[in-house]
Amino acid sequence: MIIVMKKSAGQAEIDKVIACLKDHGLGANLSVGSQATIIGILGDKSKLGGVDLTLLDGVQECVPIMHSYKLASRDMCPDGRVVQVGGEIIGGNKLAMMAGPCAVESEEQIVQAARGVKAAGAKFLRGGAYKPRTSPYAFQGLEDEGYRLLRMAADETGLKVVSEVVGVDQIDTAAKYCDMFQIGARNMQNFRLLRAVGQSKVPVLLKRGIASTIEEWLDAAEYIMSEGNYNVVLCERGIRTFETATRNTLDIAAVAVVKERSSLPVIIDPSHAAGKRAYIESLSLAGVAAGADGLIIEVHPNPKVAMSDAAQQLTIPEYAQLFQKAAKVAQAVGREI
């Protein structure tokens, strides 16, 4: 349930409503928006008993939230949330540009990648240290050493680090090296992991599950937010369909649906959707045109020898060219890079 305050309501009235909720063992999520001031009720509203909140001074109306997710819903924060990662903001007018290799492979590889994507204009360095591979015999990542190399390369170039955590036991170490955690598609419904990253308070990039609906994805975001971590960014990375021409099917419509239903920023990963280098640019430009809040793209100094996802990683010059085109599309839709 959300409480919509009257336009004339002052701070004292807002404080009284929040205090009333607190007295009944409930939390409050205050959203002061351009159109309205909204107080979201956190917790089991049956604790209110017979209290009629509409009788409190300054309250215009109480509206139930129809979704199973509340904090992630648009109703709770109609102006949209912005997520701070270090000094970078995701969800404002500016697009978040993230790039880097699928996996961290060596110091030389990640430093070259970091320098290349930084020169092209990226603000975030991606790279897997723990890789969730389909085959147990495939390269599994450099693990903690991968996090350390990422941090070093990012510090040298002034980038923010985004990297995946695949288990609860990695969170403490990963938090020392990463500015943002990635929850991969395969772990989108690993609820213990979601709760644990929620408790960590490190910003989270939550990828959509390979066969998950948008509602399930937003419920997964709610798990993280319900632990007090509101710094969640969604990432559409393609879903499994009958089509085999691409690795997954990029659901561009998900951007529009998420913008309508959720307050969270949403970015596009064209690399894992396409699976092929040749399609990355079109999907990226489509994502920006559709209103995505950023792009995360796999870039490798020498994709031919990449230890994972070789077919979909861009070279540094290819990324630099894509970046320039994305900037033009961004400008056309009133955004900047």
For residue 132, state whether it binds ligand PEP (rule: CB under 6 A): yes
Position among 40, 141, 146, 184 found at the interface with ligand PEP (CB under 6 A): 184
∠ CA 201-204-205, rounded to 5°: 175
For residue 274, state whether it binds Mn ion (rule: CB under 5 A): no
Position among 102, 104, 264, 292 found at the interface with Mn ion (CB under 5 A): 102
- Which of 43-51, 179-187, 215-223, 318-326 is the region at the interface with ligand PEP (rule: CB under 6 A)? 179-187
- Which of 6-14, 46-54, 178-186, 260-268 is the region at the interface with ligand PEP (rule: CB under 6 A)? 178-186
Please name which of 321, 286, 311, 316 lies closest in space to residue 299, comparing C-alpha atoms: 316
The one of ligand PEP, Mn ion, none whose footprint includes residue 88, by CB under 5 to 8 A per kind, is none
Q: β-strand 88-90 against 83-85: which pairing, if any? A: antiparallel
Rounded-to-integer distance, Cα 330 and Cα 236, Å: 18
The one of Mn ion, ligand PEP, none whose footprint includes residue 105, by CB under 5 to 8 A per kind, is none
Residues 64-103 that bind ligand PEP (CB under 6 A): 102
The one of Mn ion, ligand PEP, none whose footprint includes residue 121, by CB under 5 to 8 A per kind, is none
For residue 309, state whether it binds Mn ion (rule: CB under 5 A): yes
Position among 123, 151, 207, 300 found at the interface with ligand PEP (CB under 6 A): 207
Instruction: Give the nearest residue (CB) to Mn ion.
Output: 102
The one of Mn ion, ligand PEP, none whose footprint includes residue 185, by CB under 5 to 8 A per kind, is ligand PEP
Task: Give 89: exposed, middle or buried? Use CB within 10 Å, 0-12, 13-18, 19+.
Answer: middle
For residue 272, state whether it binds ligand PEP (rule: CB under 6 A): yes
Q: Which residues bind ligand PEP (CB under 6 A)?
A: 102, 128, 132, 184-186, 207, 237, 269, 272
Q: Which residues bind Mn ion (CB under 5 A)?
A: 102, 309
